[in-house]
Structure 1
Amino acid sequence: MAEPSYLAAVRESYDTVAADYAERVKSPAELDPLSRAMLVAFAETVRAAGRGPVADLGCGPGKVTAYLAELGVPAFGVDLSPRMVALAQRAYPRVRFAVGSMTALPIADAELGGALAYYSAHHTPPDLLPTVFSEFQRTLAPGGQLMLAGYVGNDERIRPTQAYGGHPVSYESHLVPPDRIADLLARAGLVVSARLVQEPGQGAKRTVATFLAAKPEQDRTPL
């Protein structure tokens, strides 16, 4: 498929802010206890299953990817921004990073034991979420796990004029209701097993939702 038009704005914006973003974005050790616990639970689940590598989709400067690797997960990162990928590779040379889009992942069918989309899907226009979620389903092995976390809302569309370091940006954020995200995941063939909604507070300005889901096992019913 042709590259969706919104990706150019997202790529250019994150290329522009990459250095400031890498310096200022929190490391997993600085996250609130609930967010950190969800990451650890995801890592333990995919590590125990041993079904394949884990892709950190929209990995940015690679801090979460490297954290997963420290937890014993065979993780690699994918990001739309070449500058983000370059910074991540420089900071974590033992971890693999690649440029790619969640709308057409550079990953083979059923290759992944897990996929993580951590604060990276909210730039996707709602009408393209089915495409992104179908890519998650396609690349996961049967029994593979997905963790999706990010900002949610009541169909707000946010257009910031500047971001990290005061740089101008041209992307949008789309805050979709949690129930709709769960429904879209199910329509893509993923079974949601847990959902955590964290209301604004303790420095957080927006509502955040985290979903754990899985691609069902292959049907082994005898013919």
Structure 2
Amino acid sequence: MDTETLAAYNKQAAAYARDWREQDAPSDMYALLKQYFAPGLTADIGCGGGRDTAWLAANGFQAIGVDVSQGLLDEARAAYPGLTFQQGSLPALDGLQRGAYQNVLCETVIMHLEPASISEAVSALISLLLPGGTLYLSWRVTEQASLRDKSGRLYSAFERQLVTMPASGLCDLLFEEDVISASSGKRTQRLIFRKRTA
């Protein structure tokens, strides 16, 4: 994770967590998760304040939230004390068992990585999946050049191929869209992969 981005999330964790809880629910994303995810162990990578981990748990998934920011994890644990949250960082995702998850959700996280780390991060996400498991991966689209917002968070500009190349030969692409998010109002690219069984 980009160090300035992590510092911004740790410094303003309470404000970010509150903003995410108060946003309109990402009903369009949730509809896709209901359609493509199967029951089983589910990792929410980049869980932030825990909103989506909580939705997963409420909808029958055995969910665990993972985030690099200790501040955001503290907020998630306070808001959802019955759920499991642990620290983990893309691209390595150390501490998470490979081949153990039926579903992996990574919602608007990878754009906070430098472009050179994105393919490695996608490979790590895929490695978490069981054969036949499903990865929902999205990112906020930044056109032309990478930039930082006023808090210092990195929004990388990168080609879609950095995401699709690591999945080639390992996964089938089930769904793709370029959409304005119902929750954030930002342009978002969404891909759903299913890991091949053989």
Q: TM-score, normalised by structure 1?
A: 0.79
- 67, 81, 88: which one pairs with 1:100? 88
What is the Cα deviation at residue 125 of structure 1? 1.3
The CA distance in 2 between the partners of 1:185 and 1:67, in whole Å, is 28
- Is 2:77 the partner of 1:89? yes
More strand by share: 2
Q: Secondary structure at the match of 1:61?
A: coil
Q: CA, structure 1 residues 182+80, in 2 after alignment: closer, same or farther (shift >3 Å)? A: closer
> How many corresponding residue pairs?
197
1:64 and 2:58 correspond: no
Structure 2: distance between partners of 1:126 and 1:195: 20
User: Residues 183 and 27 from structure 1, CA distance in 2 versus in 1: closer, same or farther, beyond 3 angstroms?
Assistant: same
Q: Distance in 2 between matches of 1:55 and 1:203?
A: 22
**Which residue is 2:192 aligned to?**
212
Report the equivalent of 2:8.
13
List alignment gaps of at least 5 residues for structure 2.
none
Show the counterpart of 1:141: 130
Q: Is the 8 A contact 1:185 1:192 kept in 2?
A: no
Change (3 A) 1:15 1:145: same
**Equivalents in 1 of 2:104, 2:183: separation in Å?**
28
Q: Gapped runs of 5+ residues in structure 1? A: 1-5, 163-169
8 A contact 1:130–1:188 mirrored in 2: no
The structure that has the greater radius of gyration is 1
Contact 2:115-2:156 at 8 Å conserved across structures: yes
**Residue number in structure 2 paired with 1:126:** 115
1:145 counterpart letter in structure 2: T
Q: Is the 8 A contact 1:141 1:215 kept in 2?
A: yes
Q: Tell me the percent identity.
A: 24
- Give the Å deviation of 1:20: 0.4
CA shift for structure 1 position 158: 1.6
For residues 150-202 of structure 1, what are the alpha-carbon distances to aligned partners after superposition, in whole Å with 9 as ceiling and x for unaligned?
Answer: 2124343121123xxxxxxx33111334x425533434833211012114899
Equivalence for 1:165:
none
* 2:41 maps to 1:46: no
Question: Residue 178 of structure 2 aligns with which residue?
Answer: 197
- Matched residue, 1:3: none
Q: Residues of 2 paired with 1:201 and 1:79: CA distance?
A: 23
SS at match of 1:93: coil
Query: Following superposition, which runs of at least 4 residues in structure 1 exceed 6 angstroms of deviation?
Result: 200-203
Does the C-alpha gap of structure 1 residues 36 and 200 become closer, same or farther in structure 2, counting only changes over 3 Å?
Answer: closer
User: CA separation in 2, counterparts of 1:189 and 1:136?
Assistant: 12
